[in-house]
Structures are given as structure tokens and as C-alpha cells.
Structure 1
Amino acid sequence: MDDEFRDAVIDELYVHEERFAAPSLGIDAARVLAHALRARRLQLAWAATILLLWIVAVPLSSGLALFYLFPVVLMALARAIRRAPIPRWIARFLSFVLRWYGRLTLTFFLLVLVIKVGGGNGPANVFVFPTALLRYVTGDGPDNGSFGDSGWQGGPQIGSLDTSSLGGSYETSLLVQAWVTLVLPLLVAVVVALQRGQFARVLASELSKARFPDVMSDPAERAEGIRFHRLRGRVRIEQHGPLVMYRAADPFCGAGSPYKTWSLSVELRPRADRTAAPLDNSAILRRIVPLVAALRVPSPHGSPQSAAAVRDRLRGLEIDECVFLPAEGLRSREAAPYAPDAFEVHRAGAVEEGGETRRHFLRIRVGGWSEGIVTTVFVRVHTQGGMLMLEVAPHVLWPLRQDFQDADRLAHLHRYLNPFGKAVWALNRTPSSAGRAVVTLLRGLLPVWHLGTGGYGASLPDGPGASVRELGSSDDASLFQDMDVARYLTTIQQRVAAGVTTALREAGYQTDEFEQRVIHVANGGVYVESAQGAVGIGDNNTITNNQGGTAPGEGNNRGNS
């Protein structure tokens, strides 16, 4: 039901077949593509039907139906002027004048049509206006006289046209023209109502919670087309795999918006009471994973039934390891190493090398609010030259747009609306239906044009240009959702820090410096140490200098402490 979103999905996943699919956290992008293509086919069919009605009606009415375009254009101009960058009172005044002038013109025109089909004779001569104008322009009309019975005198004389002299066949022709012109908007309104009714039924039945899990019965999935089936298979392989093929400009495409990304480095200082053991990146990750995984277990309750009743989203926390590889350098999209054994080779090499382009991350994901809020924490650990580097990159996928969330509600409202309400809804959208139909057909031809001229099938592979989930996201989150995101991130980051601390302690390294710094950096501050002391920049700082005593700086300090 959203043209721009649908076209963006088709362009990203169907037209640009050289692009890898972005990670789809909490959604199935292939299913979205299937329904985007089906919705476009349905909308193109409805748009063609509306234009066909106009194409048939214009000659049958001898061009009289084109008079509808005048008030429609006036009302469209009224909407455009209201949004124009001019003084508000001028825009509102001009919009009001144009809108009501268009409405009154349309009302008068319909009134004349009704009088004509009802057998009236007075204003009915307005129907001969196109013929009279044509005869005047070609010079075939009388030299003087008046226009019909309206009493219009002076100026360029179109000439009097006595319809009685034209015979009964001409009167019948005028009556047919009037009927065709009068019935046209009613037929278009019926088509508009049927289109909306079909989309509402799709949302209420095929996409309902009861039927949606059955993929095989989904009409969109059964659509024919070699290209669609081939690309659908590629998207399903790429979107949920542990291997992430990325574009350098946006490596975390699909994960959402960065949320307080931070990193720190500390010196690996052996403890005096024991000999330090070699410490590699894998050993540190092995200490982090169990502590984070323990967040799935509810705290002790009075009974097993009470513990089982806990519905905290941390119970569904997901942990995996992923490797980021640049898409540049591959000869084809199929050459990406998605096979399990090939990925394992890359994982084993990336976890220790600390490379710039090939990067290994521990990925921790929490899908809250029925996947409406997806919180992902990427953790990277690297040891080099006696230093420990810890990188934490939280990302958040914010809720879907409100109109997407209200789709089921709108479909239910339309299905159970009374017939009068449906009729009013359809008639209100009838004036702009022809323009929308033309735009729909042109937009439907654009992908075909791009497929034929773009040569994307022969292009070198590229990283994802957009994420389906991010295209449908909004930045408007409720206070509850903000609180949940903060809770997830704080809890996970504390467990990550605890895992690194445990790994350092077990390997025989000092942990005081790491514990001191991670508190400030994880909370959004910047820790700078010098020979004279320490400086903390950020919120909620408490700086401790073990060489020179303590110097508390409590509160929301945004300067130096």
C-alpha cells in the first residue's frame, strides 16, 4: 500500500541483482520482495483498468468527459499551493479559492448532466459546446447568432445551434454522451473501491497471523518467474548467514542506527604474583559468551512455574559469530563463501588477524516488541603489541513506521465499514485516480527499463545499498521502547566487560586499569590519563587516581574532573 517503499524494495533486491542482501534481523526480505512484486502487479492491473475506462469514455462522450480534468486540476493546484513556500495566509487563501472553485465547477457540470439525462432542455445545450466550438474554429458555423438558449451575446459569435434541426438521432447521441460522462466517475469509483477491498482482504487473510506462517500457501511465493525464484534463493542464503558481505561506505547496513559506539585500549600488565599466560582473542571471546548467554536464564523465583512465566526478551537473546568481508574483488555474487566450511576458514583467520577489511565480531541480538525493536551489539577483541583493544558497536533497529503498524487496523476498518462510508471513501479518491493510474504505470515501467538498460546482471558484485528493514523504520520510539533499549545495552555491555575482566584475570594480567576505564567509556565518557592524573569527559564521572588519592567528580560533569 506504499508505492515508494515497494519500489525501493524492488529496486534493491530485484533490479540491482549485483548487490548482496543486507542482513535481515527479524524479517524475511525475500518474503517482502515477493509481496512487493505481487502488489505491483495488482496495482498495475487496477491502474490499467482505470485508464481503460477513460480511453473508452472519451470517444463515446465526444470528448465531454475531458471536462472533468478542469476541476481536478484546480483541486490539485490547491493542494500544491498549500504546501508551497509562500506566506501561510496567502497559501491558505489561494488554496481555498481554487479548491472551492473546482468543487463548484464540478457540481455545476454534474448538475447539467443530471438535467440532461432527466429530459431537461434548458442548460442541455451546453453539450453541443464542443461541436459548436469545432464548427466555429473550422469556419463551418453560421456567421452570427447566440450560443444555444443561454442568451450569450457579443464577442466572437459561435453561432446559434438549433438542436431541433439536427433530428432525433442527434438528440439520442447527446443523451448517450451525457450518460457516458455521468457514469464514468461512478465506474472509476467502483474500481477504486474494489482495489482497496482486495488489498484489505490480502492483509486480513493471506497476511494474517494464522495464515502467514504457511509459506507454501502464500500466493506471492507461488509467483512464476525464473528471475524472481533465482533472486529469492540468493536473498534467503545471504540475509541470515554469519557471513556479511558489506560495502565500505556502510558496513553495518541492516543493523540499524549506531547507538553510543565505543572502544578502548589498555596495556596488558602481568600480575606480580604469577606468570602471565599467552592471551589470544579466542580465549577472551570464550569467557564472554557464557556470561552473556546466562542472561537468558531468569533469576531465582519461588517456584519453577514462576521462573517459566518470565517473559523478558532477554530470554530470546541470540549469540553468534560473524565475519565481515568486503564485496569488492569478487567476480560474481555466487562466489561469496557462504558454505559452512568456507565460512569456518574465514572465521578462524579473522578472529586473530585484526585485519582492516576482514573483521570478526561477536554478534549479540535481542528482538523486542515482536521484532519491532532490534538491539544488536557487535563486539570485537584484539590483542597487539602488549595492548588489548575492545570495540563495542551497538546498533538499534527502531520501530516500523506508524502506518505500517496500523496496516491491520486500517484493513479491518475498511472491511467492516458500512456501504455508505465505503462509497464516500471511494468518491473522495476518484478525482485523483486517473493521475495516480498514469504515475503507477510509469513507475511500473521504470524497473523494466532499468533491467533492459542497466546491465546489472553483468556488473561486478557490490555490497547492499539499502536494508529492507531500515527502509520501513521510523525514529519515533516510545519511552518504554527507549527504556528497554537502554536496559538491553547496559546489561549486555556489563557482561562483555565482565568476560574480558575474567579472561585477563585468569591469564595472569592486571585488571584494575581495564575495570576503571571501561566504566567511564561504556557510559559515553572519554578517559584520558596523564602523568599528573586522569581526566574524564562525559556524564556521571568518578575519577580515581591511585597514585595521588581520590578525586571524586560526581554529577553530570561535562567538563574536566
Structure 2
Amino acid sequence: MSRVTRFLCAAAYNHRESFRAGILQRLMLPTERFLPPAYGVDPGAVAWHCVRAQRLDAARELAALAVLAAALWVEPVSAAFVVYVATALRLRSYWRQRLRLRVPKPSGVRQLAVPALTVIAALSLAVYVALLVYAVWSGLGGRVPWLAASSAPAVAAQAAGTWVLVGLPAGWGVVAAAERRVRRRRWREIRTAKRLGPPETRGLWGVIETSTARGLRRLSQLEQVTHVEYADDAFYGAGDELEQFPPWSFATQLRRRTPPAPPDVGAGHLRLVKPPEDSGPLLSHSDVIDAIREGMQRFRAGEARAGARLQQLTMRDYVFAPQGHPALISKRPAGDVLADEDEEARHMLGIRVGSWEEDLSTTTFVRATTHGDILYLEVSVRVLLPVQNQYRWSIRTIDAGMLNALRSIPSDILLAVPRHTWQLARRFRLMWGKEPEPAERSAAQAEGWDVPAPPLHINSLREQVAQPSPQNLFQRLDIERYVKAVEHRLISSVQDLLEHKGLESEEFSARVSQVFNTGVIINGGVQSGSIAGGHTVAQTNQTTVQPSTPSNPQTGTVSSPPPA
């Protein structure tokens, strides 16, 4: 299990109800087919803990109400203590939040909060037990010399309330003792397990129904299977587009390299020059993508030998299709769609540096298109930033020792209530025609023929907990290093391909120099003899690119042409 999954599982218990409601609303809606892959997060485990946390909150409220009801049957002194206990139970999240804000380090929480809460719980329980013993002893006719005898008849007359106070804490104590063992074992699993999930036939431990659990697992499996994805929100789930890395593209004309002229054979002899044969397109889309993939593999092998961070480089093919495309509905593999040469399906190669389990990862999407002797190269960068600090505190706070005796008694009162109660309520809801899905979802949509439109922007769970922007200098430097390393290796791979195919690479180098050195974004389109477009058309058209200008493919610099 990734660290982000453990953070979110712990945040289900340690954050506001809106956090859990937002997670469950996204994961359990019938439009789950539009959710992006999990990207390093186990959605089944997160949903299970969110549902369980909601039940525990409801059980805690039920326990507090039961204690308050029991206070109505006892004498004023005991009632005041019971009201105090019920209030402490209801304010559990409040005290935890104050401890987290006041104590900056987990070690401080362990050293200050745990002993203080333990002493308070021990004193409170001691007074509680003394009151119970006094009530029972007085009810049986016994006398306590050092206490006022006038209060004994009043306590004896309220024996029913006494037995309520005796039975309720005893039952909660047994439940709390068993619950602490279960919770400790559960958090050990969360820390160490690679994947938190039950057998598929049982659902997620009976908390989430099996059909929903299977849908959540499919989100994780989509990371390994390449399907056709929705094109109106391309690159969803892979991160955000940063201002310093805008998408760029350009077009260049492909020309065969002119062979050197043969030596002069003397006067009176004709020099025969064989024209080049027209053997079809100079370059294909698959040639460019394969060259980029091979270049990245060599780059990754070199980084692995050096032990650098860039050895965590992975590549995946993405195919995007418009709304209503048959391949989008039937979830056809991307390879089959590409084999059909469908013009509506757009193929891009995603190059990711850093695994989804890491704090920071960048994905560079590359698309190469050839039309006759024109090569179009399009690049877009997405950055997935680290997890916010508020979610990193979750596991540490829970591990800090909040499982004290007083507050853990009602925290899992649900374990004392049969789980079949919730199942029975769900069965009654289904009997009365309350379907879990919206009523407007038609039978055609249920069969997958009519796909509802997704929202304008779709975020993965990983994106929801990510930082909105880089927080420090080192994060910005890491992003810069990852993106530039991939882009320069990408450009050099295409240059090597042009050299291998016997094509001129000078114009390609000049176009690259325009993008990287002057920051001009060239989007394609022929204007005034130069291939340029976009919001910088005027600036680009003033710059005339000389196809024969020599360039240095290693540095990307273009030398000035000699004066006339």
C-alpha cells in the first residue's frame, strides 16, 4: 500500500465529515466510469475506512445520547458526572484538533497528551466506580459510616437507574478492550500491507457491497491496462499544468539529405545523377514514437547505472476518443483502436518520472503526427505535486495515543450492535423501491449504451490531496530537472531518427531552438512563408528560419548565418 493510501485512510478518522462525504460521493456515484485511475491510491481501502468512520461517528452520537438518557435516572452528583462524560465523548474531534494545533511534533503529543489524558481518565473512572459501588451497597442495605446516611434511601429508590449505569459501562468496557486490539492490528496492516483489500467475493469486509467494491478495484486496474480515454478532459488525473511549463508544439518540413556530387570525370563526358526514388512517406507516426521510446529506455538504463532518481521513468500509451465513440463505451484496448487507424482516436505517449507512490511526479505527453513531408510534434507537461501537510498529520496523530480508556469506550459501540442492522435497513430501502442509483438513470445507460456526460474537470483522489502549487525551492528545482531532462532526451531521439533515415535535421534543430531559447510557441499553420500560429504569430512571423542554418544538436543553439 502506498503512503498516500495510508494518509487518506487515516484522514477518514481524523478530518471533518465533509472530507469523507466528498470521497464517498466521488467513488460511489454511477458515473464511476469517468473517474480517472487511482494513480497510486487504493480507492477500495479509502472508501472502506470512510464508511467505517461515518458509522463510528453515528455510534458515538448514539452512545452519548444513551449516557445522557441514563443520567435522568440517577442522583444529581452522578448525573453531573455522566453529563461530563457524554460531553467529552461528543467533543472528541475538538480536543484532538486542539492537541494537533498546539503541539507541533508527534513526540510532544506522546509526552504531554497521553499522560494527561490517562490521568484524567483514571481519576474519572475511579470516581465513577466509587459512585457505583456506593449506589449498589446502599441499595442492598449496607451502610457507609463516613458518608451521609441521608442519601442512601434516595439512591436505593433509583435502583433501576443504578443498574443501567452498571450494565452500560460494563458492556462498553468489554467492547473497548476488544476494539483496541482490532484497531492496533488494523493500523499495523495499514502501515505495512502492500494492499488493503478483502477477497472479492466478500466485498470490502461487508461494509461496501460487492458490486461497488469491484468497481473501485477497476480504478486501480486501469493503471495497468491501456483503454481508450475521454478526450474532452485529456490528461485528467495526471496532475496540473504549471505556468512555467506551458504546452508547446511546432511543425517542420522533412527533406532528404542531398547526396554529395560525384567528382568531375573530365570534358566530353556526361555526369549522370540518379534522382531519388519516391518510396512513400518520409516518416510515419509509429517511427517517431518508437524512436522516442527507445531513446527513453536508453536514458533510463544510464540513470539506473548511476543510481539517479530519473531511473524511475515509466512510459504508457494513451489513446483519447471523443464523446460517443464506440471504443470509449466498449472499453476496447488502445492497441486495437490504433491498429484500425481511426482518425478520431488520438495517440500520445506519456513519459512519467517518479512513481505514483512518490511525493512528486511529472508526466510529459508527446504526440507526433506526419502529413506527407510535414512533421508535427506536440508536448504537454503535467505535474503531480506532493500531498498536503494536513493529511500527513493524520497517521501520526492517531498513533500518538488517542486510544485512552475513557474515549475509546463509545468509539466502537457499533461492534456491540449486530452489523445485520445496517444490512436489514438497506434491504428495507430496496424493498420500497429506493435504488442506490439516481432514478433518471435509464436502462440504456445501465447497459452502457448511453454514456452520460462527465463533469468539466475530473480529479483523481491523488489530485484532491495534492498541494495547489510548489511549496519550496527544492520542489521547483526537482520539477525543472525532471521536465528538462525528458524534453532534451526526447528531442535528441527525434534528431537521431532523422539522421538514421537520411533526412535533414537542421530545420528541426532551428525549430527546437525557437521554442526553448526564445520561448515562442509554434502551434502549426502556414503563414507568410513560416510555419507558425497562436498568440505569438506576429513575433514568430518576424523571425525567418533558415533551413540550412547549422546547429548544434547537443546544446540546441543556432549559429548566425555568415554575412552576405
Amino acid of the structure 2 residue aligned with 1:11: Q
1:463-501 deviation line (CA, Å, top 9, x unaligned): 584312212322455544443332221111111111222
Aligned equivalent of 2:404: 422
Aligned equivalent of 1:378: 365
Of 350, 353, 366, the residue aligned with 1:363 is 350
Aligned equivalent of 1:51: 61
| Alignment TM-score, normalising by the size of structure 2 | 0.59
Aligned equivalents of 2:374, 2:351: Cα separation in 1: 24
Amino acid of the structure 2 residue aligned with 1:396: V
Aligned equivalents of 2:71, 2:129: Cα separation in 1: 15
Aligned equivalent of 2:510: 516
Aligned equivalent of 2:100: none
CA contact (8 A) 2:292 2:490 kept: yes
User: Percent of counterpart pairs with the same letter?
Assistant: 23
Aligned equivalent of 1:470: 463
CA contact (8 A) 1:21 1:235 kept: yes
CA contact (8 A) 1:20 1:235 kept: no
Amino acid of the structure 2 residue aligned with 1:23: P
Aligned equivalents of 2:400, 2:72: Cα separation in 1: 40
Aligned equivalents of 1:217, 1:229: Cα separation in 2: 8
Tell me whether 1:529 sits opposite 2:540 in the alignment: yes
Aligned equivalent of 1:267: 252
1:437-466 deviation line (CA, Å, top 9, x unaligned): xxxx9xx99x99782545557444355843
Aligned equivalent of 2:192: 209
- State the secondary structure of the residue aligned to 1:2: helix
Of 49, 64, 67, the residue aligned with 1:39 is 49
Aligned equivalents of 1:198, 1:519: Cα separation in 2: 62
Amino acid of the structure 2 residue aligned with 1:398: L
Aligned equivalents of 1:467, 1:371: Cα separation in 2: 15
Aligned equivalents of 2:177, 2:471: Cα separation in 1: 34
- State the secondary structure of the residue aligned to 1:19: helix
Does the C-alpha gap of structure 1 residues 199 and 479 become closer, same or farther in structure 2, counting only changes over 3 Å? farther
Of 430, 451, 455, the residue aligned with 1:461 is 451
- State the secondary structure of the residue aligned to 1:258: coil
1:95-134 deviation line (CA, Å, top 9, x unaligned): xxxxxxxxxxxxxxx9x999998999xxxxxxxxxxxxxx
Of 238, 241, 244, the residue aligned with 2:222 is 238
Aligned equivalent of 1:345: 336
- State the secondary structure of the residue aligned to 1:394: strand
CA contact (8 A) 2:310 2:353 kept: yes
CA contact (8 A) 1:330 1:336 kept: yes
How much has 1:63 moved relative to structure 2? 8.3
CA contact (8 A) 1:256 1:397 kept: yes
1:35-71 deviation line (CA, Å, top 9, x unaligned): 23432443344334333334434444338979959x9
Aligned equivalent of 1:62: 72
Aligned equivalent of 2:416: none
Structure 2: tracts of 5 or more residues without a match: 1-9, 13-17, 95-124, 136-149, 260-275, 412-421, 522-538, 546-554
How much has 1:215 moved relative to structure 2? 6.8
Amino acid of the structure 1 residue aligned with 2:540: E
Aligned equivalent of 2:487: 493
Of 3, 7, 11, the residue aligned with 1:2 is 11
CA contact (8 A) 1:116 1:178 kept: no
Number of equivalenced pairs: 430
Aligned equivalents of 1:227, 1:218: Cα separation in 2: 10
Aligned equivalents of 1:457, 1:407: Cα separation in 2: 41
Amino acid of the structure 2 residue aligned with 1:376: T
Question: Over aligned residues, Cα RMSD in angstroms?
Answer: 5.2
How much has 1:286 moved relative to structure 2? 2.1
CA contact (8 A) 1:323 1:350 kept: no
Aligned equivalent of 2:286: 282
Aligned equivalents of 1:5, 1:52: Cα separation in 2: 22
- State the secondary structure of the residue aligned to 1:529: helix
How much has 1:324 moved relative to structure 2? 1.3
Does the C-alpha gap of structure 1 residues 286 and 36 become closer, same or farther in structure 2, counting only changes over 3 Å? closer
Amino acid of the structure 2 residue aligned with 1:319: M
Aligned equivalents of 1:395, 1:61: Cα separation in 2: 59
Aligned equivalent of 1:12: 26
Does the C-alpha gap of structure 1 residues 214 and 396 become closer, same or farther in structure 2, counting only changes over 3 Å? same
- State the secondary structure of the residue aligned to 2:34: coil
CA contact (8 A) 1:350 1:359 kept: no
Aligned equivalent of 1:394: 381
CA contact (8 A) 1:263 1:389 kept: no
Does the C-alpha gap of structure 1 residues 210 and 23 become closer, same or farther in structure 2, counting only changes over 3 Å? closer
Aligned equivalents of 2:499, 2:55: Cα separation in 1: 68
Of 234, 237, 242, the residue aligned with 1:254 is 237
CA contact (8 A) 1:5 1:471 kept: no
Structure 1: tracts of 5 or more residues without a match: 80-109, 121-163, 300-306, 431-440, 535-540, 551-561
CA contact (8 A) 2:248 2:515 kept: yes
CA contact (8 A) 1:296 1:316 kept: yes
Aligned equivalents of 1:189, 1:319: Cα separation in 2: 54
- State the secondary structure of the residue aligned to 1:526: coil
Does the C-alpha gap of structure 1 residues 350 and 183 become closer, same or farther in structure 2, counting only changes over 3 Å? farther
Tell me whether 1:315 sits opposite 2:311 in the alignment: yes
CA contact (8 A) 1:245 1:327 kept: no
Aligned equivalent of 1:451: 436
CA contact (8 A) 2:239 2:385 kept: yes
Aligned equivalents of 1:402, 1:190: Cα separation in 2: 36
1:272-328 deviation line (CA, Å, top 9, x unaligned): 6155862221122222111111112136xxxxxxx75x4323323222322112343
Does the C-alpha gap of structure 1 residues 344 and 409 become closer, same or farther in structure 2, counting only changes over 3 Å? same
Amino acid of the structure 2 residue aligned with 1:15: L
| Alignment TM-score, normalising by the size of structure 1 | 0.60
Does the C-alpha gap of structure 1 residues 470 and 182 become closer, same or farther in structure 2, counting only changes over 3 Å? farther
CA contact (8 A) 2:39 2:460 kept: no
Does the C-alpha gap of structure 1 residues 298 and 116 become closer, same or farther in structure 2, counting only changes over 3 Å? closer
Does the C-alpha gap of structure 1 residues 239 and 461 become closer, same or farther in structure 2, counting only changes over 3 Å? farther
Does the C-alpha gap of structure 1 residues 374 and 187 become closer, same or farther in structure 2, counting only changes over 3 Å? farther
